[in-house]
Each structure stands twice: as structure tokens, then as C-alpha cells.
């Protein structure tokens, strides 16, 4: 039995696609082993969203090549699209497989071991051709509803490495959800590149979501990151449904309107804050997290102060902070007034500090409230850990706790360890 290991970098969509490949390799008779162990095949699912992602992807490829002498290293993901020729020329990697053909990797590896001459470029592309996840490395699983993006934000390389926006047929999505629920998953994450732009005939994003939560079964639904302009004013009503979790990762990127315009974002800070207020007025305790880019070309001290003001006002409980990274081929890369790395680093530290303050504030506000925790781990001391519906990490003692089960827990304290979490007691 040949051994295969995986390493994933980047976003939740990549994670989903790796999970689906794990299932396909497993079903095809390969032994899936941890990345730290030697393997006959190593699949690296790369990311290219920033320069740092490129660097991490390169380091991982080099490490995999060193670690598995004589093994087959297959590189896929956005960096494989972005630097396809360069990676092939390096000669270290057996196969470089574009995103469009990622779902075909098992067939390609099979053909390789049968001694066939394999050219990944001749495999048919299908961006939704992934297996239903059975064997996952995680307790929650993602459902891919969409791929690609037509928005062309001026800083973003994703449209050129993931291609134009395409939506998965609704019946395939519903079938996929039913299967993963039958396979025992209790939490699904709706995933794609720009899911708010989902569009299949007369069914838009909200319609697709509504159909998913109408399905039977004991599961709950999360939404991976969402742009603030892909849904209507009544979107918050969907979150009254017991299957919906009260958390959104809503990407603001900047709190300055002139910078948002330069980024080619399709909203203003005012319209963004209206969404946040509407949700909080209707669903108290709703948890918002976000992405912020600091040091975008031309971002003045005043623009940055606006971002500081807005992220405080919105009380995001987590801010994923990116230092603006120049990506060749994007409009922002050609803009004048690029900022120094020193300014970007200083500004990102300020935002990270606010993120930590906001997080503690939000956690403290949740003390005394109950959460339905999906247990991810139980240690030898019978201490269970997992996430509640508001997407806060919770730990609690329970002699009968088991992985992948829900437990009603009362939040009693915030533990300010390196990674803060909530302590709870079983209800
Ligand atoms: S919406 Fe903008 S940031 Fe998001 S993938 Fe599309 S172009 Fe990139």
C-alpha cells in the first residue's frame, strides 16, 4: 500500500480541497499518513495571496523534497498556478497541477505508478469535481459552493490564479451536504472564493443557504469569509434559524473610504457599519471577525486612524491583519506611493493590539451565557475542548465527553493563556 501525506497552506477552500483529496486517495487504496512521516507521495496545496505565503509555500516544497528522497512530490494550489513554469523548471517536483485540475491528482498519481507518461495539462479540469469528504483531518467540514472571482480588487491576485467566478449547481451542493451529514459531520462551513456572489439561475447566495439549512439532520452551518456586498438587507433573518451559527467573518480591509475606493471595494465604511448594527440590533452577542490590510499604497496616517476608529467601533473579536503585499500583475502593484515595510509593520502591530483587546472584551461579555460546544478533542484528564456556536474556543471537564458530540456548556471565565479561551461547565 503506497503512503500519501498532505500539507495545506492558505485558506479554508484549500483545506476543503485537501480534505476531499484525502478521501479520494483513501478510497483508491492509499494509506494516508501524517505529514511528519515518510511517504511515497506528498501533496502540497499551496497559497500565493501574499509574498509571505509564497515564501512559506516554497519552504514547504523544499522541506518535502528533502524529507522524501525518491518520493513523488505533487504541488498544486494557487502558487502552482502563479509560478507554474518556474516550479516546473526547478526540476525538484514531480508534478505541478493547476487549481482547475486539482481534483484529478489521484488519477494522475495512479497513472504515474502504472508507468504511464503523465502530463497534468491533459487532464480535464473540474473545479467542483471533488469527492464528498468522509475521512477528514478535522471535526468540521467545508462545502464548496463557488470558485473564482470577477471582482478584481486592485491588490488581489486571486482572480488570476483561481479564474472567473463559477457557482456549483444547487442540487450538487445539497447532495454534498446530505452525504457529509450522513458521514457524521456536525458542522459544515460554506466555502468558496467569493461566496456572496453565488448565482445559479434564479438562486443567489441567500437562496442557496436557505436550502441548505432546510435539510434534515443534527448539524449546524458556518459561513467562511464573506464580502460585505453580496447579500440583501434581510440577510440577518436567516441567522434566526437554529442551524445557523451567529458569527460572520466579514472582510472590511480598510476603515478609510478613499482607500476602499483605491482598493476597488464596492462599499463604504458607513454601509459596512450599517450591516454590523443591523445584525447586533437583531441578534445580540453576534460575533464579527474581519480581515484588514494595512499599508496599502497611499494609506496616510489619517486613513490609518480611520481604520483604527472603525475596527474599535465594530468590536471585531478577531482581526486577521495583513501587511499589504505587492503582487505582480495587480493594479495596486503599479500604484505610486508604496509604503515602507517599517510603516506596514508598525500599523499591523497597532491593529493586532486592538484585535486582542476586542477579543478579551467580547469573551468577557459572554461570561454567564450558554454555548452548544462541538467537541474537537478530549485529553487524558477528561478535559474537552471545542467551539461554541459563536466561534469561541471553550474548554470544560466532562467524564463522558466524546469527540464530535455537542454539549451544552455554561461559560464561567476567560482563561488568558497565550491563546485565550473560555472555561465552561456542563449544563
Ligand atoms: S473579492 Fe476581492 S479580495 Fe476577494 S477574492 Fe475577489 S478580488 Fe480577491
Distance (angstroms) between ligand 1 centre and the Cα of 226 equals 10
Which pLDDT score is estimated for 138? 67
- CA dihedral 192→196→199→204, nearest 10 degrees, is 130
pTM reported for the whole predicted model: 0.91
Segment among 129-143, 311-325, 366-380 with least mean pLDDT: 129-143
Q: Does domain 141-365 have CATH number 3.80.30.20?
A: yes
The residue to mutate among 159, 164, 224, 228, having the most atoms of ligand 1 within 8 angstroms of its beta carbon, is: 159
Which pLDDT score is estimated for 287? 98
Per-residue pLDDT at 194 exceeds 90: yes
Ligand 1 pocket, residue 149 CB under 6 Å: yes
Which pLDDT score is estimated for 137? 56
Q: What is the pLDDT of residues 270-296, one digit of tens each?
A: 999 999 999 999 999 999 999 999 999
Output the CA–CA distances (angstroms, integers) from residue 333 to 35, 57, 58, 79, 405, in the order listed. 35, 21, 22, 18, 47
Per-residue pLDDT at 370 exceeds 70: yes
Mean pLDDT across the stretch 401-424?
Answer: 93
Question: How far, in Å, CA of 11 to CA of 203, rounded?
Answer: 25
Ligand 1 pocket, residue 158 CB under 6 Å: yes
Which pLDDT score is estimated for 135? 60
Residue 27 corresponds to which cell in the numbers above?
478510497
Q: Considering the chain, what percentage of its residues have pLDDT values greater than 90?
A: 80
Query: Which pLDDT band holds residue 124 (cuts at 50, 70, 90)?
Result: confident
Distance (angstroms) between ligand 1 centre and the Cα of 407 equals 37
Mean pLDDT across the stretch 158-173?
Answer: 93
Which pLDDT score is estimated for 401? 86
Ligand 1 pocket, residue 251 CB under 6 Å: no
Ligand 1 pocket, residue 13 CB under 6 Å: no
Q: What is the pLDDT of residues 23-79, one digit of tens each?
A: 899 999 999 999 999 999 999 999 999 999 999 999 999 999 998 888 999 999 999
Q: Which CATH code for domain 3-122?
A: 3.40.50.12160
Question: How far, in Å, CA of 84 to CA of 93, rounded?
Answer: 11
The residue to mutate among 12, 78, 193, 205, having the most atoms of ligand 1 within 8 angstroms of its beta carbon, is: 193
Query: Which pLDDT band holds residue 136 (cuts at 50, 70, 90)?
Result: low
Amino acid at each position: 500500500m503506497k503512503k500519501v501525506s498532505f500539507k495545506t497552506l492558505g485558506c479554508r477552500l484549500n483545506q476543503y480541497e485537501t480534505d476531499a483529496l484525502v478521501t479520494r486517495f483513501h478510497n483508491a487504496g492509499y494509506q494516508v499518513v501524517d505529514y511528519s512521516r515518510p511517504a511515497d507521495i506528498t501533496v502540497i496545496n499551496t497559497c500565493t495571496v501574499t509574498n509571505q505565503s509564497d515564501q512559506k509555500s516554497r519552504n514547504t516544497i523544499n522541506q518535502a523534497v528533502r524529507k522524501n528522497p525518491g518520493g513523488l512530490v505533487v504541488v498544486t494550489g494557487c502558487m502552482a498556478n502563479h509560478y507554474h513554469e518556474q516550479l516546473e523548471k526547478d526540476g525538484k517536483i514531480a508534478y505541478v497541477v493547476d487549481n482547475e485540475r486539482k481534483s484529478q491528482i489521484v488519477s494522475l498519481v495512479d497513472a504515474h505508478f502504472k508507468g504511464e507518461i503523465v502530463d497534468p495539462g491533459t487532464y480535464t479540469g473540474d473545479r467542483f469535481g471533488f469527492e464528498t469528504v468522509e475521512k477528514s483531518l478535522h471535526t468540521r467540514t467545508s462545502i464548496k459552493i463557488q470558485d473564482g472571482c470577477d471582482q478584481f480588487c486592485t491588490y488581489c491576485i486571486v482572480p488570476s490564479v483561481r479564474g472567473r467566478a463559477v457557482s456549483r449547481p444547487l442540487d450538487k451542493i445539497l447532495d454534498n451536504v446530505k452525504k457529509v451529514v450522513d458521514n457524521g459531520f456536525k458542522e459544515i462551513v460554506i466555502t468558496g472564493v467569493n461566496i456572496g456572489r453565488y448565482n445559479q439561475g434564479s438562486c443567489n447566495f441567500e437562496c442557496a443557504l436557505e436550502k441548505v439549512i432546510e435539510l434534515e439532520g443534527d448539524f449546524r452551518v458556518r459561513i467562511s469569509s464573506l464580502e460585505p456586498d453580496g447579500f440583501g438587507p434581510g440577510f440577518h433573518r436567516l441567522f434566526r434559524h437554529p442551524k445557523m451559527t451567529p458569527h460572520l467573518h466579514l472582510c472590511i480591509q480598510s476603515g478609510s473610504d478613499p482607500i476602499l475606493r483605491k482598493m476597488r471595494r464596492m462599499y463604504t465604511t458607513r454601509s459596512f457599519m450599517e450591516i454590523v448594527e443591523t445584525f447586533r440590533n437583531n441578534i445580540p452577542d453576534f460575533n464579527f471577525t474581519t480581515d484588514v490590510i494595512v499599508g496599502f499604497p497611499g494609506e496616510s496616517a489619517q486613513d490609518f486612524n480611520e481604520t483604527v476608529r472603525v475596527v474599535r467601533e465594530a468590536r471585531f473579536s478577531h482581526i486577521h491583519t495583513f501587511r499589504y503585499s505587492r503582487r505582480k500583475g495587480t493594479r495596486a502593484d503599479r500604484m505610486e506611493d508604496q509604503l515602507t515595510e517599517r510603516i506596514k509593520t508598525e500599523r499591523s502591530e497597532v491593529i493586532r493590539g486592538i484585535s486582542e483587546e476586542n477579543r478579551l472584551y467580547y469573551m468577557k461579555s459572554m461570561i454567564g451565557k450558554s454555548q452548544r460546544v462541538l467537541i474537537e478533542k478530549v485529553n487524558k484528564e477528561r478535559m474537552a475542548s471545542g467551539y461554541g456556536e459563536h466561534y469561541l474556543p471553550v474548554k470544560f471537564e466532562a467524564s463522558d465527553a466524546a469527540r464530535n458530540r455537542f454539549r451544552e456548556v455554561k461559560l464561567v471565565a476567560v482563561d488568558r493563556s497565550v491563546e485565550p479561551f473560555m472555561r465552561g461547565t456542563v449544563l
